């Protein structure tokens, strides 16, 4: 199972067609998890990734293929992912977008290309000033599975790192989701950053499950509301002068306000709290 894999055995080949672009080809096999003795001998992941950049922005194109014959007893998955990602900067303003679709077969059901999708859009504006204030807005969407269609339209984020994009509380994957966020940040003093953000979660298909690495907010089903709730995050980082090493300390606090869909599925709408502290030292 992919969820228990955190390392891979394989190889990568990189070609530099120009000074501003790279083309990567990789083939990896999921490494065995010795703690749980889960074997991934029949899980193969391969892809092509082209990345180009310039002073004004960047463009990425990718094609990824996953073959997993151990999703469950007698079940398998063959999934092709095609996507593009771009960022464009205009002085103080930046806009970015990503669009991906998938095709293949999972557990005997077709994965219809075009109907299985993930999309992202963001914009950032940086103001003048000593504290370098900025605002950022994000919008994410990913298809969910309609159990009445006979196909599997749920977008699969494959090997996710959710909290970097969908909130520090890890409540959602880029799957069966509509996510909107707004953030404001600035530097309260030299070598420090403070950011506050608001996030809203909604399931694309209320009959499909919704969740992230930490929790399943909704198991899906008839009569469950699409509104999953809101998350408020506060994050503070300070960079320390430890030359030649680069060091920072970061703390964060998050609150989740469950929506009607969480209450429908879990029977509770209690407020959730999350706190973390971390440090990083690099030479």
pLDDT in tens, 150-195: 899 999 999 876 577 899 999 999 999 999 999 999 999 989 999 9
Lowest mean pLDDT of 40-49, 61-70, 264-273, name the range.
40-49
As beta bridge partners, residue 70 has none
- Answer yes or no: is 5 within a domain: no
| Residue 143 DSSP label | -
In a domain, 85, yes or no: yes
| Domain contains 51 | no
Let me know if residue 41 belongs to a domain. Answer: no
Number of separate domains in the chain: 1
CATH number of the domain at 129, please: 2.40.160.100
Q: How far apart are CA 283 and CA 267, in angstroms?
A: 49
Instruction: Pull the structure tokens for residue 38.
Output: 């889960």
Backbone angles phi and psi of 34, in degrees to 5: -70, -30
Q: Is residue 92 part of a domain?
A: yes
Domain assignment present for 67: no
Q: Measured between alpha carbons, how far is 122 from 188 in angstroms, rounded to an integer?
A: 24
- Predicted confidence band of residue 119 (pLDDT cuts 50, 70, 90): very high
Q: Is residue 131 part of a domain?
A: yes
Q: What was the pLDDT predicted at 33?
A: 56
Q: Is the pLDDT of residue 37 over 80?
A: no
Task: Determine the Cα–Cα distance for residues 175 and 186; give it in Å rounded to an integer.
Answer: 31
Q: Is the pLDDT of residue 73 over 70?
A: no
Q: Say yes or no to pLDDT of 87 above 60.
A: yes
- Domain range for 148: 74-282
Please name the helix (run of DSSP H) or strand (run of DSSP E) that holds residue 61, with its range, or none. Answer: strand 57-72
pLDDT of residue 1: 45
């Amino acid at each position: 199972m992919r969820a228990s894999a955190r390392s891979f055995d394989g190889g990568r080949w990189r070609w530099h067609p120009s000074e501003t672009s790279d083309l990567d080809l990789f083939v990896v096999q999921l490494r065995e998890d010795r703690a749980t003795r889960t074997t991934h001998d029949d899980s193969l992941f391969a892809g092509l990734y082209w990345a180009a950049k310039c002073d004004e922005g960047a463009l990425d194109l990718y094609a990824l293929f996953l073959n997993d014959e151990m999703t469950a007893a007698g079940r398998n998955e063959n999934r092709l992912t095609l996507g593009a990602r771009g960022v464009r900067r205009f002085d103080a303003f930046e806009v970015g977008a990503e669009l991906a679709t998938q095709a293949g077969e999972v557990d005997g059901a077709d994965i219809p290309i075009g109907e299985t999708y993930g999309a992202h859009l963001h914009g950032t504006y940086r103001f003048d000033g000593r504290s370098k204030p900025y605002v950022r807005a994000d919008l994410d969407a990913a298809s969910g599975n309609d159990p009445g269609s006979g196909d599997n339209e749920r977008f699969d984020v494959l090997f996710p790192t959710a909290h970097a994009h969908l909130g520090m509380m890890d409540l959602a994957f880029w799957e069966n989701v509509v996510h909107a966020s707004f953030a404001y940040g600035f530097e309260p003093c030299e070598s420090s950053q403070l950011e506050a953000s608001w996030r809203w979660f909604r399931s694309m298909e209320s009959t499909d499950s919704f969740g992230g690495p930490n929790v399943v907010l909704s198991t899906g089903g008839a009569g469950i509301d699409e509104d999953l709730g809101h998350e408020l995050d506060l994050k503070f980082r300070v960079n320390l002068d430890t030359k030649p090493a680069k060091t920072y300390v970061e703390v964060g606090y998050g609150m989740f306000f469950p929506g009607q869909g969480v209450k429908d599925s879990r029977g509770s709408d209690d407020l959730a709290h999350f706190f973390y502290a971390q440090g990083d030292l690099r030479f």
